[in-house]
Amino acid sequence: MKKISTDICVIGAGSGGLSVAAGAVQMGARVVLIEAGEMGGDCLNYGCVPSKALLAAGKHAHMFGHSEAFGIAAAVPQVDFKKVHDHVKDVIATIAPIDSQERFEGLGVTVIREFAKFKDARTVVAGETEITARRIVVATGSSPMEPPIPGLDSVPFFTNETIFDNEVLPEHLIVIGGGPIGMEMSQAHRRLGAKVTTLEGGTALGKDDPELTAIVKRRLVEEGIDLRENAMVQRIEKADSGVRVVFEKDGREQNVEGSHLLLAVGRAANVNGLELEKAGIEYSRRGITVDERLRTTNKKVFAIGDVSGGLQFTHVAGYHAGIVIRNALFKLPAKADHSAVPWVTYTDPEMAHVGLTEAQARDAHGDKARVLHWGFDENDRAQAERRTEGLIKVMTNPKGVVIGASIVGAGAGDLLAPWILAVGQKQKIGTMAQFIAPYPTMTEVSKRAAGSYYTGTLYSPRTRFVVRLLMRLFG
């Protein structure tokens, strides 16, 4: 067996692992990177990139039939789903060289394409290679869950790891799961011409502000998605059309038949086969146990991204990579702070959030929490684009410090950026009220929402009295 001694051994070449490997090797550390699957991990190959490419195709198809308001005759789009598939794969292929084995070997990283498992506290075995490292980083990510639904093993089904290989438009796609992935894929396929039924055991998009999610769900239903909430799946059966899903709703058993099935019911940390016990690393069903510095119970081993059991976002994995580099290379006691982690659901309209929700702000500060609203219908650019469905909500504490922001509407993910900074830097609302927003842009909704914090004071009877007095005295 070949033996290697190195400074940093990274297990997993997803966004977090690649960021650690690239940063560490360019700072002078010896790095071994182990990946048994695709370079780039879930985000590039099965998640963020292909899903947004498919959503973009659906958006363009949707525009064909909704142009009358601009004086343009609507038309039925002619969708070639094989070419849509090729478009998705081309986007992946365009980005892939950035994450490729060749690029990282060019940086000086030793890349091993094998499955990794621990031998002891500081040793990892990958194929015929044994790696001993000063520090080890587990960045193996997560995989789609397959729930124990009776009959599931009797029918073919998609997950996010297989849906983007499909080259034929489903006649009727049944989606089990009303979270972000389920709702995004439901809308994309509906806009491309498929009939779509989405089943959610609880409330769709239940982790977000209900005032915002109501706007998204209303749009999806208007577009023709059959959304059934509080629908508990009981079993799955074969059917002449393809698949039948039996579920309970409103106290009675119902069913829906479709041609294809997509499971989007959550994700599980990739810990199986790593033999973490041999390294003294504790873990649970949620993932590997870590402290604030992202160290496992074996202090020489870090865990980052999805496998660490926290927020499952690519940008969180990238953030974790920076924390690990500071700890592992520079011996700085850097701690992860997740209080200003943003998330975006890329439906149309988009939904974005950072910090505390309205409910959390009121729980923390009661009636002293301020919640500011501003509707997109009061924005001139939104009117010009005819994209007026949406609003922004900003939460402040009793001292006027921004503690959260939620946005639903066109481009909500991009509009969230200044609020991420405001929450992270604990800025007061006045900072956001004072910046000059170019006109006409959607960014004005942020400024107007912030400015509304002062409306009650600026236009009060007291202010009018002071102004009249000053005019008489100095006018």
**Residue 29's pLDDT is what?**
98
Arch. (CATH architecture) of 349-458: 2-Layer Sandwich (3.30)
Walk along the chain (475 residues) in steps of 10 and give the mean pLDDT of each run: 96 98 98 97 95 98 94 94 98 97 98 98 98 98 95 96 97 98 98 98 96 98 98 96 96 97 96 97 96 98 97 96 97 96 98 98 96 97 97 98 98 98 97 95 97 86 82 82
Strands (E), 271-380: 301-303, 343-345, 350-355, 370-375
**Residue 32's pLDDT is what?**
98
**Residue 475's pLDDT is what?**
67
Token code pair at residue 186: 């439901």
Domain boundaries, the chain: 2-143+268-328, 152-266, 349-458
**Residue 284's pLDDT is what?**
93
**Which strands make up the sheet holding 195-199, listed edge to edge?**
226-228, 195-199, 172-176, 260-263
The Cα 199–Cα 195 span in angstroms is 14
The Cα 274–Cα 124 span in angstroms is 9
Token code pair at residue 119: 């031998």
Token code pair at residue 169: 């438009």
The Cα 124–Cα 136 span in angstroms is 9
Domain 2-143+268-328 in this protein, CATH class: alpha beta
The DSSP call for residue 326 is: H
Q: Are residues 11 and 139 in contact, defined by beta-carbon separation less than 8 angstroms? A: yes
Tell me if 152-266 shares its fold with 349-458. no
The Cα 261–Cα 232 span in angstroms is 16
Place of tokens 């892939």: 96
The Cα 383–Cα 385 span in angstroms is 5
Q: Which residues, in sequence order, are CB contacts of 281 under 8 Å at separation 6+?
A: 118, 138, 288, 289, 296, 297, 298, 301, 303
**Residue 109's pLDDT is what?**
98
For the chain, what's the residue count? 475
Nearest Cα residue to 8 out of 97, 70, 27 = 27
**Residue 456's pLDDT is what?**
82
The Cα 336–Cα 315 span in angstroms is 13
Peptide bond into 349 cis (omega under 30): yes
Q: Which CATH number does 152-266 carry?
A: 3.50.50.60
